[in-house]
Amino acid sequence: MAKVKATIPGLLKAKKEGQKIRMVTAYDYPTAAIIDQTEIELILVGDSLGMVMLGYEGTVPVTMDEMIHHTKAVVRGARNTFIVGDLPFMSYNVSVEQAVTNAGRIMKEGGADCVKLEGGLDFADTVRAIVRAGIPVMGHIGLTPQTASALGGFKVQGKDMESARQIYEDALALEEAGAFALVLEAIPAPLAKIITEKLHIPTIGIGAGVHCDGQVLVLHDLLGLFDRFVPKFVKRYAKMDDSIREALNTYAAEVASQVFPGPEHSFSGNEDELRKYLKV
């Protein structure tokens, strides 16, 4: 049976019915096409692409043009999966007008179904304006990698009562501003549980425990394709780096030993006739 693309009302219904929402990142056509053949409802074209695809130290250098380039490729590969396009650092932070314009680009040029942006209470007006423009917004609070430097690094957030309250209030403000879902990153599981119970919109956790309405992981972490930095909350479901290395070493050895290409990978012809004709 063909996969039915998720919708925002469908995601709200999933929360009400206690069905977990599954999201994973993707940044290119082939992996998007594979995800499209699975039960995973949402693809996030995350700005994590800066680290796992482009080799930057963090997500800060990622540009709007890079996000649009990768979002377009994912959309071409995954026609039946709901696509979330990330707004990169400084593409929505300067003014509400800038935020609406760039959210529009992710939708119109990239082809995403919604945008995601990092930030809580301080970005409630920005979220409200983007939603008013007709663009669905997924919020992202807790550990917000774009501002990791201001947070003192890639650290668990909301560990003390005061910062837990701040994150709780961020969640309420974003729901009130019209966000249709929230990513909760790297916060204690009990705080995520309380926020999830309080909100009407779904929470999607990454390092936020099992009580969120859904989960998201970075594809390259999940598949074992990125080991420069592996947070505690990552579970590796495969060791694709080993498989890729093994395949490439076998290819290299077979080329060296002339096992590849074999006759089945070659086009036949009559060497003698060819030599006679070419006089060689």
Task: Please report, as ranges, the residues that interact with ligand KIV according to CB under 6 A.
Answer: 25, 44, 46-48, 86, 140, 183, 185, 206, 216, 218
Q: Which residue is nearest to ligand KIV (CB)?
A: 46
Given a contact cutoff of 8 angstroms between Cβ atoms, the answer to whether 72 and 27 are in contact is no
* Cβ proximity to ligand KIV, 46 vs 136, nearer residue: 46
Q: What are phi and psi of 255, to 5 degrees?
A: -70, -45
Q: Quote the CA–CA distance of 103 and 144 in Å, as a whole number.
A: 18
Cβ atoms 204, 215 nearer than 8 A? yes
In the complex, minimum distance from the CB of residue 15 to ligand KIV, in angstroms, rounded to a whole number: 18
Smallest distance, ligand KIV to C-beta of residue 218, A: 5
Nearer to ligand KIV, 127 or 206 (CB): 206
Residues with catalytic roles:
185
Asked whether 234 and 222 are in contact (CB, 8 A), the reply is yes
The minimum distance between CB 198 and ligand KIV, in angstroms, equals 21
Contact 19, 39 (CB under 8 A): no
Pairwise CA distance, residues 12 & 3, whole Å: 19
To ligand KIV, the closest distance from the beta carbon of 85 in angstroms equals 11
| Closer residue to ligand KIV (CB): 229 or 251 | 229
Nearer of residues 42 and 273 to ligand KIV, judged by Cβ: 42
DSSP letter assigned to residue 110: I
